[in-house]
Structure 1
Amino acid sequence: MRSGPRCHLNHRSPKLCLRALQNEYVARQKKSEAKQKELSEIIDVLGYIPQVPLDGDE
């Protein structure tokens, strides 16, 4: 279910293939960053504070 250009399907030159894969990677990173920011804002609104044990407390 991938929608981006795939090198093995398009038989592009290696340079074009690399560029396409890099563009896909950057797009996924930006999408992930936006989702992380949204989740962080939701957690802030809910007032959630995670309980993190101190070093040595197990």
Structure 2
Amino acid sequence: MEWLKKLAALLVLIGALNWGFIGLFDLNLVTAVFGSATTVTKVIYSLVGLSGVWLLLSKYKS
């Protein structure tokens, strides 16, 4: 289960960096790499969001 926590942390880090680039440079790296409104982009955003929720819940669970 530790690998899942590391994967979730990596996805949240990717999401945070992406939001940083959006705020600072008006550059969305996810859509720049995978295209706008593609299935892959939606999956990445969904996984980042779910990872954040999972990390938050796992922090208060233990």
**TM-score computed with the length of structure 2 as normaliser:** 0.45
Q: Which has the higher contact order (CA 8 A, sep 6+)?
A: 2
**TM-score computed with the length of structure 1 as normaliser:** 0.47
Which of these two proteins has the greater Rg computed from alpha carbons? Answer: 1
Structure in which a larger fraction of residues adopt helix: 2
